[in-house]
C-alpha cells in the first residue's frame, strides 16, 4: 500500500458514503460531493490528489475508510457497495464499447459543466443518465438501500447515480495505480495508518 492507493480508496469510499447519505437523508456532505463529482472530469490530473482537487477533497472518504478498516466502526452497507463497485470496474474493463461510450459521455457532460457549472441540476442529471445507460447495464448491479421516500425523489436518485459514477471513477483509478482487492485484507493496518496520516495532514492544511 502507498499514499496514492489510499487516496484512490478514500475516493471510492467517499462516493459510496455519499450515495448512502443521499439514500437515507436526501442530502449529503456538499463539499465532499463537489470533490467526488469533480473527479469524474479530472481525467488528466497530474497526481492522484489532484483528481479530487487536493487531499482535503477526500477527507470524508479518509474518515470512512478508517472506520471501515476498524472492525468496531464498520458500516456494512458502505463496505458492500465499495466491494460491488470494485467488481463492477472489473466488468467494465471487459466491455470496450461501453467503456468508450462512458468516456464519450463524460466529454459531453464536460461541455455542460462549462455552460451550467459542475454542480448544476443539468450536469448531475446528465451523469445520472450516463450511469444508467452504461454501468447499470453490467453485473454486478450496485444496490443502494435507504429511505423509500427519498429514493422516490428524482433529484435524489440522480445524485445517488452521479455518486456511484464517481465511485467507479475512483475504482478505475485504484486499479490503474496497482490497487488490488486482496491488498485491503493483507495490508489493513498499514492502510489505516496511511489514511490517518493523510487525514491529519489535510486537516492541518485546511485548518
Residue 1 DSSP code:
-
CB 135 within 8 A of CB 92: yes
d(CA 123, CA 166): 13
Number of other residues whose CB lies within 10 A of the CB of residue 103: 12
pTM exceeds cut of 0.85: yes
- Picking from 166, 57, 32, 54, the residue whose alpha carbon sits closest to that of residue 109 is 166
d(CA 109, CA 107): 5
pLDDT above 80: residue 71: no
Residue pLDDT, tens place only, 16-43? 999 999 999 999 999 999 999 999 999 8
d(CA 3, CA 6): 5
d(CA 53, CA 1): 22
Report the pLDDT value the prediction gives residue 80, as an integer from 0 to 100: 94
The H-assigned helical ranges of the chain are 3-25, 30-41, 48-51, 59-69, 76-93, 96-116, 121-133, 154-176, 181-186, 188-205
Residue pLDDT, tens place only, 72-109? 778 889 999 999 999 999 999 999 999 999 999 999 99
Amino acid at each position: 500500500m502507498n499514499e496514492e492507493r489510499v487516496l484512490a480508496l478514500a475516493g471510492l469510499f467517499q462516493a459510496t458514503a455519499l450515495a448512502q447519505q443521499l439514500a437515507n437523508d436526501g442530502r449529503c456532505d456538499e463539499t465532499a460531493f463537489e470533490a467526488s463529482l469533480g473527479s469524474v472530469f479530472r481525467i488528466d490530473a497530474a497526481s492522484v490528489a489532484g483528481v479530487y482537487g487536493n487531499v482535503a477533497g477526500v477527507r470524508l472518504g479518509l474518515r470512512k475508510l478508517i472506520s471501515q478498516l476498524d472492525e468496531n466502526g464498520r458500516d456494512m452497507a458502505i463496505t458492500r457497495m465499495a466491494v460491488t463497485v470494485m467488481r463492477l470496474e472489473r466488468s467494465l474493463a471487459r466491455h470496450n464499447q461501453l467503456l468508450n461510450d462512458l468516456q464519450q459521455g463524460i466529454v459531453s457532460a464536460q461541455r455542460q459543466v462549462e455552460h451550467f457549472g459542475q454542480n448544476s441540476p443539468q450536469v448531475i442529471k446528465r451523469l445520472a443518465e450516463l450511469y444508467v445507460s452504461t454501468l447499470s447495464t453490467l453485473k454486478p448491479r450496485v444496490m443502494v438501500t435507504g429511505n423509500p421516500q427519498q429514493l422516490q425523489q428524482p433529484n435524489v436518485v440522480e445524485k445517488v447515480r452521479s455518486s456511484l459514477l464517481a465511485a467507479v471513477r475512483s475504482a478505475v483509478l485504484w486499479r490503474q495505480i496497482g490497487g488490488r482487492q486482496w491488498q485491503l485484507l493483507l495490508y489493513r493496518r498499514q492502510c489505516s495508518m496511511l489514511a490517518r496520516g493523510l487525514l491529519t495532514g489535510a486537516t492541518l492544511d485546511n485548518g
